[in-house]
């Protein structure tokens, strides 16, 4: 029975992770880290959109040539 529950993250595990993060980085550093993560995710999404648009334009150019 205990082996089945090992894969789930419970409230105690989440609290422990939050406590460790607070001890490592402190309360003032966490907003800066989250802001950096948010900007990184935004840049990644923008890059993915540019990649998709580039692939679509290449497909259109290839269709024109054929």
Q: What is the per-residue pLDDT across 19-64, written as a single tens digit (0 to 9) for each?
A: 998 888 888 888 888 899 999 999 999 998 888 777 777 666 666 6
Tokens read off for 19: 């406590």
pTM, two decimal places: 0.51
pLDDT of 9 reads: 79
Q: At 58, is the secondary structure helix, strand, or coil?
A: helix
Residue 58 lies in a domain: yes
Q: How many Å apart are CA 62 and CA 60, to the nearest integer? A: 5
CA dihedral angle for residue 18, residue 21, residue 26, residue 30, rounded to 10 degrees? -90
Range of the domain at 56: 27-66
pLDDT category of residue 1 using cuts at 50, 70 and 90:
very low
pLDDT of 40 reads: 93
pLDDT of 42 reads: 94
Domain count along the chain = 1
Residue 50 lies in a domain: yes
């Amino acid at each position: 029975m205990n082996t089945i529950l090992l894969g789930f993250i419970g409230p105690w595990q989440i609290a422990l992770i939050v406590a460790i993060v607070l001890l490592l980085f402190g309360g003032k550093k966490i907003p800066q880290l989250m802001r950096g993560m948010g900007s990184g995710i935004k840049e990644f999404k923008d890059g993915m959109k540019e990649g998709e648009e580039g692939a679509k334009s290449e497909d259109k150019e290839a269709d024109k040539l054929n």
